[in-house]
Structure 1
Amino acid sequence: MTSLSVVRSRAAPKTVIPGFGITFGLTLAWLSLIVLIPLAGLFLKTFELTWDQFIGVVLSTRVLNALKISFGLSLVAAAINTVFGFAVVWALTRYEFPGRRIFDAIVDIPFALPTAVAGIALTTLYAPNGWLGAPLQAIGIKVAYTPLGILIAMIFIGLPFVVRTVQPVLIDLETELEEAAASLGANRWQVITKVVVPTLIPALLTGFALAFARAVGEYGSIIFIAGNLPNVSEIAPLLIIIRLEEFHYADATAIAVVMLVASFILLFIINGLQRWSEKRSAAF
């Protein structure tokens, strides 16, 4: 083989994936049709408003309160799901108990259950005369038609995202590491906090991001239990629907753009933390 051919082979190595150009082109075209073009249309529709009109829409009291409820409660719900989702995963992967497979299947119910059905079920359960709503009402805790009800609905629909993201990573985690830590004198809490959790941080952050994204965009399971009171329990997706029904399409797209940009920024931060934790774990 001549030196020229060696240089060419090094400069242009063959890919192990056949037809990369075709698959990459199809991928780019499909993502453009499904994601990029609709989002571009969303931004273009917003340009029908002047800058002052846009600011007036997104900074109105009703819109700001709806955004605070949607994003604030979504973050809280995702954090709660991350903590308790880890506990659920730990029980399902580290212990054998009767009905474990049944409980494992129950986790997927929010995936398969229609959102309207979930909303009706939660409202019936937590209504003032419901099975759980009545005793809670007796001690002064009102769930249905309050932000607390919205939070519970977000937790309900977000839990499977954390569990199914963390579960395979915990299953693949070598138990020898835990045994080695225990043999060196670490107690159960130290094993979890010093060995298990640092390894699972990237998966936990991914589950947090997925649960947050689902909660922010959730509509069907929330509107029934929320009560939809303006400035009290009205979520941003519902306000977008209301503006569309009023034929204020530009106002609706303005709210949607704010939600899109805010979600993208938060997810970008979470993905950055995830990559940082992965590099930190690899360094150790």
Structure 2
Amino acid sequence: MKVASFKQQRNIPGFNLTLGYTLTFLSLIVLIPLLGLFVYSTKLSFHEWEKLLISKQFLLALMLSLSTALISAGLNSFIGLLLAWVLVRYRFPGRKIMDICIDIPFALPTAVAGIALTAIYAQNGPIGYWFSFKIAYTPIGITLALLFVTLPFVVRTLQPVMADLPREQEEAASLLGASPRQIFMHIILPAILPAWLTGFTLAFARAIGEYGSVVFIAGNIPFKTEILPLLIVSKLDQYAYDAAAAIGITMLLIAFILLFLMNTLQRRLNRNINKNN
């Protein structure tokens, strides 16, 4: 009886058909294109791979991509936490408008965002004019563009989790004399930490592969403001498709390793939370 019940839970009506459609769609949209990228990159010999990956241009682009993506994801982790907290816990005039504005980077074409940021933060722009240092065409401008693009990933990941937090535990802790800081550190933070890490990971993964919003404000100066996606486009312009595929594979492996580590950590955190509950 238990075995039959287990099979009924697993083999719901239409399971084989829906699984087939899912695997077909996943293969056509994700797996086969990625496999093609791997196959195309094999046109490079081992010596050519080594020469590409240790070249100064690639290493500088890699360091710039990783550093700006890490900084933007880290900053947005705290900014997104504050925004999600304000939107969930407080009611004030203009709250719905603020909530809608969070999704603007999703709807706005990234190229339009890049043009707008460049026009505003250039040295002759309305905001960049007031700074004694350059923002556009520097790593600061790249980080600014990535902040704009990746902010919704953190906010929209944290917002539903914060909305579902039970207030009873916070009220009980407050009645027992816990300070707001203790309530946040011991009750709220452990509950939202898995979602917080997910938001950070999504923001980082998006930032490391972002192109449209960065291409204008970066200026694409070799060895200075050239990130990996810009390097890929420059290789394509030179008809070096195999080198562009190799750089794409490198970016894919970095993103995969990060997602794997973060998902592993998230599962452990969820397991610990379930044990404590």
* TM-score, normalised with respect to structure 1: 0.94
Partner of 2:160: 168
| Inter-partner Cα distance in structure 1 for 2:135 and 2:73 | 19
Offset of residue 209 of structure 1 = 1.1
Offset of residue 17 of structure 1 = 2.8
Corresponding position: 1:281 with 2:276 = no
Partner of 1:82: 77
Partner of 1:205: 197
Offset of residue 8 of structure 1 = 6.7
User: Aligned ranges for residues 15-164 of structure 1 at < 5 Å?
Assistant: 15=10, 17-137=12-132, 141-164=133-156
Aligned residues: 276
- Specify whether residues 117 and 10 from structure 1 end up closer, same or farther in structure 2 by C-alpha distance, changes over 3 A only: closer
Aligned-pair identity (%): 50
| Inter-partner Cα distance in structure 2 for 1:8 and 1:280 | 29
Counterpart of 2:67 in structure 1: which amino acid? G
- Specify whether residues 14 and 163 from structure 1 end up closer, same or farther in structure 2 by C-alpha distance, changes over 3 A only: closer
Query: Highest CA radius of gyration, 1 or 2?
Result: 1
Counterpart of 1:234 in structure 2: which amino acid? E
| Inter-partner Cα distance in structure 2 for 1:148 and 1:56 | 29
Offset of residue 7 of structure 1 = 8.0
Secondary structure at 1:110's aligned position in 2?
helix
| Inter-partner Cα distance in structure 2 for 1:95 and 1:11 | 45
Partner of 1:3: none
Counterpart of 1:148 in structure 2: which amino acid? I
Q: Deviations over 1:129-173 (max 9, x none)?
A: 112211112xxx321100010001101100001101110110011
Match 2:218 to one of 226, 229, 240: 226
Counterpart of 1:180 in structure 2: which amino acid? A
- Specify whether residues 8 and 144 from structure 1 end up closer, same or farther in structure 2 by C-alpha distance, changes over 3 A only: closer
- Specify whether residues 126 and 14 from structure 1 end up closer, same or farther in structure 2 by C-alpha distance, changes over 3 A only: closer
Counterpart of 1:70 in structure 2: which amino acid? S
| Inter-partner Cα distance in structure 1 for 2:12 and 2:183 | 41
Match 1:254 to one of 240, 243, 246: 246
- Specify whether residues 22 and 228 from structure 1 end up closer, same or farther in structure 2 by C-alpha distance, changes over 3 A only: same
- Specify whether residues 10 and 166 from structure 1 end up closer, same or farther in structure 2 by C-alpha distance, changes over 3 A only: closer
| Inter-partner Cα distance in structure 2 for 1:7 and 1:176 | 38
Corresponding position: 1:245 with 2:240 = no
- Specify whether residues 181 and 29 from structure 1 end up closer, same or farther in structure 2 by C-alpha distance, changes over 3 A only: same
* TM-score, normalised with respect to structure 2: 0.96
Offset of residue 10 of structure 1 = 5.9
Offset of residue 76 of structure 1 = 1.4
Offset of residue 12 of structure 1 = 4.2
Q: Deviations over 1:175-204 (max 9, x none)?
A: 111111111111111111211111001111
Secondary structure at 2:131's aligned position in 1?
helix
Offset of residue 13 of structure 1 = 3.9
Q: Can you give the 5+ residue segments of structure 1 that lack an aligned partner in the other structure?
A: 1-5
| Inter-partner Cα distance in structure 1 for 2:222 and 2:138 | 11
| Inter-partner Cα distance in structure 2 for 1:12 and 1:165 | 34
Offset of residue 249 of structure 1 = 0.7
Counterpart of 2:119 in structure 1: which amino acid? T
Counterpart of 2:78 in structure 1: which amino acid? V
- Specify whether residues 187 and 44 from structure 1 end up closer, same or farther in structure 2 by C-alpha distance, changes over 3 A only: same
Secondary structure at 2:254's aligned position in 1?
helix
Offset of residue 70 of structure 1 = 1.1
